[in-house]
Amino acid sequence: MSLERPDTTDDAAIERTPDELEALLGDLVVARDDHLNAPGFVIRPDTVQETLRTLKQQAGYDHLSVVSAQEYENRYESIYHLKKYDDPTQEVSVVVPADKDDPVSETAEPVFRTADWHEREAYDLIGVEYEGHPDLRRILLPETWQGHPLSMDYDKDRPQIATLPEHANPLEDHHRDEESDTMFLNIGPHHPATHGVLHLKTVLDGEQVIDVEPDIGYLHRSEEQMAQSGTYRHQIMPYPDRWDYISAGLLNEWAYARAAEDLADIEVPEYAQVIRTMGAEMCRIAAHMLALATFALDINGDFTATFMYAINDRERVQNLLEDLTGQRLMFNYFRLGGVVWDLPEDREAFFSNTRDFLDQLPESVEEYHNLITSNEIFQMRTIDTGILPPEVAKNYGATGPVARGSGVDYDLRRDDPYGYYDELDWDVATEDGCDNFSRLLVRMREVEESAKIIEQCVDLLEDWPEDERNIQANVPRTLRPDDDAEIYRAVEGAKGELGIYIRSDGTDEPARFKIRSPCFSNLQTLPEMANGEYIPDVIAALGSLDVVLGEVDR
Amino acid sequence: MGTAPAQLFPEFIVDTLGLDSVIGEVAASLVAAFVVGNIILAFTGVAGPWAKRKITAAFTDRIAVDRIGPYGLLIIPAAAVQLLAKELIVPEGVDRPSWDIAPILLPASALLGFSVIPMGQIGPINLHLADPEVGFALVFAFASIASVSLVMAGYASSNKYSLLGGLRAVAQNLAYEIPLIVTAMSAVIFAGTLQMSGIVGAQTETLVTIGGVAIPSWYAFVNPFAFVLFLTANLAEIGRNPFDIPEAPTEIVGGYQTEYSTAYFVLFYLGEFVHIFLGGAILAVTFLGGASGPGPESIGFIWFVVKIWGFFLFTQWARAAIPRVRIDQLIEIGWKGMLVLSFANLVLTAVIVGVIA
């Protein structure tokens, strides 16, 4: 793995116009295919690495958000959505068409490590083959699956029996190394510490981990396909709740809402934006509380009091969300152009409940600091374990608390503002430790920042004039965005950059709906953190990544 | 030395019933052992399905079992029926009979330890089965058989998590048994005997009198440093936080007991709890004056029960509050920290006792 630093760091900060970028890329650009969010350059399939390297090193596009692939009538196409960690509003899309009959294009893995999994997914679901990819296997579907489900000629009605390959037998030769005496160990798919259905193929030397390979896809439900068969207006919104299902529902809904609203040019009323912001931050607190709770479970063991205390606090914010949305997990509260209903009656009770929660929160956070972060054994366990250097984090496209725990100051709420965030007073929490402890600290500080945001939203909502409480913009009953409009939009979810790529084809359903899951990219960093550490540190690193498998597998 | 130790329990039975033949003595010993064993098993019966849940719930702001019977106490028979009625799953490839012996060995080793523990008097009965001259060494010997059981279970299960747990158990016990025993030896130096009754008797003397209240010379007061060392090593010995790494459910699933279900699982849990009580009993005898306490000697057993349940409570508290250390950190603490400290304590005690006495 190579870790090229930008040669000319000064150039990285400069914002270039699309034409300047085209000039920089020169002959590499075959055509222009601009997206709503970014200029798009069409390149030849054998110049992917050269193009991406130029953009990364000479123009500072150091963040490969996502690789989205799709099949057209006459071609396959992979799109590399690039951003800058320093300024995510500077975006560029690299569009790589591939031959319809022989869809081969060059891999981007040597330039961006994160492309490894993203290209595997594109191969798995669409069928594009990436030449030079180090490990082009299926990633979400079983190895024995026939066909590529999101390709055009795929027969959805044909039943498939996915015969699993023989159970990985530890005594087989490829699992045992005669000379070094290592042991192959399956951690998961059912294991107390995998927080869902995750399978870690681990090679151990005694207690030390030599190699760990996450095996995902156990929770794959083809969420993208489901979204592609729903109408923009109403049928897609319930699905995002089911990605990161750990009560981060509103954050996920916002990802879809933001992409679709920008695609269809819908303006959300200010009042609804404040409600959205407040609800989303409540979700963030709930999600981070659960992350803290389960991390304590991983470090302390099954009987830790911290787990129940944090679940208790999550319960309090969950009650507020229930008052607001009527649901506890699958909220389905956002609508394109606003939210489904106003704050609950009676408003005063809701505000005072919220304030009670906010008043009690600092005390809780203090208690967690007493219980875990200031405990010496806890520090011994988490400080300097699971190291993820910032450059590696960027190379893997890590975002959210994982990136911020490595000192990468990247938060879309501030850097690519949406909702009401830029009107409010709050800070982005970062830590420089790059270890398990830092990631936990970031989450705990983010809870406090979220509380600040909620408090300001409550203040605003309390004084909002009654006749200006507009929760919903005028949105046509049936949305038909322009033919062949493409957009990639992301929000700061609980785990990081949660983005949606949509291509419309003039109908009321998206032609391609691609989810950029932060957990997917974050989980990919696990081997970097875990190799060479002890088993307990792998568990701690996994806990500190805070992955939700529903979002990883979609 | 304090008052002369009362008659041992088997002798009491022999005398009371007038059994003076050899068969009578054997029968009396068996009856005595049966009674003592059942007292301990009754403790674990209450501790496992009920008290442990209630204590953990109290620490974590919950209610725990309260539906079945008063205070949920009938959960004890319910859990017993439930656990024993399930199918015993014997995984393929386990190494029998060692797979079957391991769960029996663990509670047996812990129960054996109680044969030399002076549990104090209840009325005229002195709950003390045997008082050999090397009783103190014997109790540690019995307790350490437990490691054999854990290794056996880990190895025979033919499961990698079990194997890891078994290996961890050995590493942990090696690292902690030595400091544990070396620390305990400082009590032997004070008492000048390995006999249990002697060690307890030596602690009945008055250390100081403050405001008319006589503070007994329990070794926890005489040498608090050794007491803390012993307490810590004892947590490792019984495998509770921060040293529960042979099981470590979130890391290695269940360690050596991963593959055990139903009756065998119960036996393992029983063994662990008896071990906690044995750990508490050793602690009480060595540092807390055994069964001594305010009031007449005939209620000594009650004080003894209070002490070992206090220790049980302490282990549960540690579980709720303290993170577990990593295996390499544990080895480091054991060999580099505890061992050095325990030897320093031993030498210091020897010097003090040598100079003063």
Give pLDDT, residue A8.
46
Q: Which of A192, A312, A537 comes nearest B250 by C-beta?
A: A192
Among A97, A475, A71, A425, CA closest to A269: A475
- Among A377, A533, A544, which would you mutate to test the B interface (most chain B Cβ atoms within 10 Å of its Cβ)? A377
A185 touches chain B (CB under 8 A): yes
| Helix (H/G/I), strand (E/B), else coil: A120 | helix
Same domain, A203 and A240: no
- Chain B CB contacts of A380 under 8 Å are 325-326, 329
Q: What are phi and psi of A218, to 5 degrees?
A: -70, -20
Contact A539 B56 (CB under 8 A): no
- Among B60, B243, B247, B250, which would you mutate to test the A interface (most chain A Cβ atoms within 10 Å of its Cβ)? B250
Report yes or no on A139 lying in a domain.
no
List, in sequence order, every residue forming a beta bridge with A41; answer none if it has no partner: A32, A94
Read off the pLDDT of each residue in B152-165 and give the average, rounded to a whole number: 86
Question: What CA–CA distance (Å, rounded) separates B84 from B287?
Answer: 38
Could you tell me the end-to-end alpha-carbon distance of chain B, in angstroms, rounded to an integer?
A: 14
Question: What CA–CA distance (Å, rounded) separates B155 from B94?
Answer: 9
Give pLDDT, residue A3.
43
Question: What CA–CA distance (Å, rounded) separates A500 from A554?
Answer: 13
Question: What CA–CA distance (Å, rounded) separates A545 from A525?
Answer: 9
Same domain, A546 and A418: yes
Report yes or no on A380 lying in a domain.
yes
A298 touches chain B (CB under 8 A): yes
Among A216, A217, A184, A218, CA closest to A201: A184
A 141-170 near B (Cβ less than 8 A): 170
Among B355, B345, B347, B335, CA closest to B175: B335
Domain boundary among A99, A131, A163: A131
Q: Is the distance from CB of A82 to CB of A63 less than 8 angstroms? A: yes
B 7-26 near A (Cβ less than 8 A): none
* Domain CATH number, residue A526: 1.10.645.10
Q: Which of A377, A381, A539 comes nearest B250 by C-beta?
A: A539
B250-298, pLDDT tens digit by residue? 778 878 888 888 888 888 888 889 989 999 999 998 888 878 777 777 7
Question: In chain B, what percentage of residues exceed pLDDT 90?
Answer: 4
A121: left (phi over 0), alpha (psi -120 to 50) or beta: alpha
| Residue B1 pLDDT grade (very low, low, confident, very high; cuts 50, 70, 90) | very low
Q: What are phi and psi of A98, to 5 degrees?
A: -130, 155
Question: What CA–CA distance (Å, rounded) separates B231 from B314?
Answer: 10
A307 touches chain B (CB under 8 A): yes
CB pairs < 8 Å spanning A and B: 89
Same domain, A102 and A180: no
Report yes or no on A183 lying in a domain.
yes
Report yes or no on A140 lying in a domain.
no
Same domain, A312 and A447: yes
Give pLDDT, residue B16.
81
- B109: CB partners within 8 A, 6+ apart: B142, B143, B144, B145, B146, B148, B149, B271
Contact A309 B241 (CB under 8 A): no
- Chain A CB contacts of B64 under 8 Å are none
B92 touches chain A (CB under 8 A): no
Identity of residue A261: E
Same domain, A314 and A431: yes
Q: What are the structure tokens assigned to B285, written together? A: 């005898």
Question: What CA–CA distance (Å, rounded) separates A227 from A218?
Answer: 19
Give pLDDT, residue A453.
92
Give pLDDT, residue B3.
46
List, in sequence order, every residue forming a beta bridge with B161; answer none if it has no partner: none
Contact B323 A375 (CB under 8 A): yes
Question: What CA–CA distance (Å, rounded) separates A164 from A166?
Answer: 6
Residue that has been written with the tokens 């009396």 in this structure: B28
Give pLDDT, residue A282.
92
Question: What CA–CA distance (Å, rounded) separates A117 from B241?
Answer: 39
- Chain A CB contacts of B329 under 8 Å are 380-381
Check whether the bond before A510 is cis (ω within 30° of 0): no
Domain boundary among A98, A116, A131: A131
Same domain, A87 and A236: no
| Helix (H/G/I), strand (E/B), else coil: A104 | strand
Q: Which of A298, A309, A377 comes nearest B242 by C-beta?
A: A377
Domain hosting residue A53, numbered range:
9-131
Same domain, A211 and A227: no
B286-331, pLDDT tens digit by residue? 888 878 777 777 788 888 899 999 999 999 888 888 888 888 888 8
Give pLDDT, residue A136.
87
Same domain, A396 and A482: yes
Any long-range contacts for A308-313 (C-beta under 8 Å, 24+ apart)?
A308/B60, A308/B61, A308/B62, A309/A364, A309/A367, A309/A368, A309/A371, A309/B60, A309/B61, A310/A368, A312/B61, A313/A285, A313/A289, A313/A361, A313/A364
Report yes or no on A344 lying in a domain.
yes
Question: What CA–CA distance (Å, rounded) separates B310 from B315?
Answer: 9
Give pLDDT, residue A458.
92
Contact B316 A301 (CB under 8 A): no
- Chain A CB contacts of B328 under 8 Å are 207, 534
Contact B329 A207 (CB under 8 A): no
Same domain, A77 and A199: no
Report yes or no on A136 lying in a domain.
no
Question: What CA–CA distance (Å, rounded) separates A242 from A247?
Answer: 9
Residue A534 is classified by DSSP as B
Buried b (16+ CB within 10 A) or exposed e, B63-100: ebbeeeeeebbebbebbeeebeeeeeeeeeebeeebbb
* Domain CATH number, residue A45: 3.30.460.80
Buried b (16+ CB within 10 A) or exposed e, A132-151: ebeebebbbbeeeeeebbbb
Helix (H) or strand (E) holding B140: helix B135-156
B59 touches chain A (CB under 8 A): yes
Q: How far is A202 from chain B (nearest CA, A)?
A: 12
Domain boundary among A163, A181, A215: A215
Question: What CA–CA distance (Å, rounded) separates A208 from A282?
Answer: 39
Number of structural domains (chain A) is 3
| Residue B6 pLDDT grade (very low, low, confident, very high; cuts 50, 70, 90) | low
Same domain, A437 and A541: yes
Q: How far is B113 from chain A (nearest CA, A)?
A: 28
Check whether the bond before B97 is cis (ω within 30° of 0): yes
Q: Show pLDDT as tens, one digit a residue, over chain A (554 residues).
A: 344 444 445 555 677 788 788 888 778 888 888 888 888 888 888 888 888 888 888 888 889 999 999 888 888 999 999 988 888 888 889 999 888 888 889 888 888 889 999 999 999 998 898 888 888 888 888 877 888 888 888 888 888 777 666 555 555 555 555 666 777 888 878 888 777 788 888 888 878 888 888 888 888 888 888 888 889 888 898 899 888 888 788 999 999 999 999 888 888 998 999 999 999 999 999 999 999 998 988 888 777 888 889 998 999 999 999 999 988 888 889 988 889 888 888 888 999 999 999 999 999 898 888 888 888 888 888 888 888 999 999 999 899 999 999 988 888 888 888 888 888 888 888 888 888 999 999 999 999 999 999 999 999 888 888 888 888 888 888 888 888 888 999 999 889 899 999 999 888 889 899 999 999 999 999 998 888 888 888 888 988 988 888 888 88
- A447: CB partners within 8 A, 6+ apart: A284, A285, A288, A289, A361, A365
Question: What CA–CA distance (Å, rounded) separates A22 from A38?
Answer: 13
A 507-536 near B (Cβ less than 8 A): 534-536
Same domain, A247 and A387: yes
Q: Which of B320, B321, B325 comes nearest A381 by C-beta?
A: B325
- Chain A CB contacts of B248 under 8 Å are 301, 536
Q: What are the structure tokens assigned to A144, written together? A: 């024995």
Residue A27 is classified by DSSP as G
CB B343: neighbour CB atoms within 10 A?
A: 15
Same domain, A510 and A392: yes
Helix (H) or strand (E) holding A96: strand A91-99
Write down the mean pLDDT value for chain B: 84
B83-101, pLDDT tens digit by residue? 888 888 888 888 888 888 9
B63 touches chain A (CB under 8 A): no
Question: If 0-12 CB within 10 Å is exposed, 13-18 middle and 19+ buried, where does residue A547 land?
Answer: buried
Report yes or no on A155 lying in a domain.
no
Residue that has been written with the tokens 């499961």 in this structure: B159
Read off the pLDDT of each residue in B108-121 and give the average, rounded to a whole number: 87
| Residue B357 pLDDT grade (very low, low, confident, very high; cuts 50, 70, 90) | low
Buried b (16+ CB within 10 A) or exposed e, A255-268: bbbbbbbbbbebeb
Question: If 0-12 CB within 10 Å is exposed, 13-18 middle and 19+ buried, where does residue A331 land?
Answer: buried
Q: What are the structure tokens assigned to B88, written together? A: 């015993």
Contact B251 A193 (CB under 8 A): yes
B53 touches chain A (CB under 8 A): no
Q: Is the distance from CB of B251 to CB of A540 less than 8 angstroms? A: no
Report yes or no on A543 lying in a domain.
yes
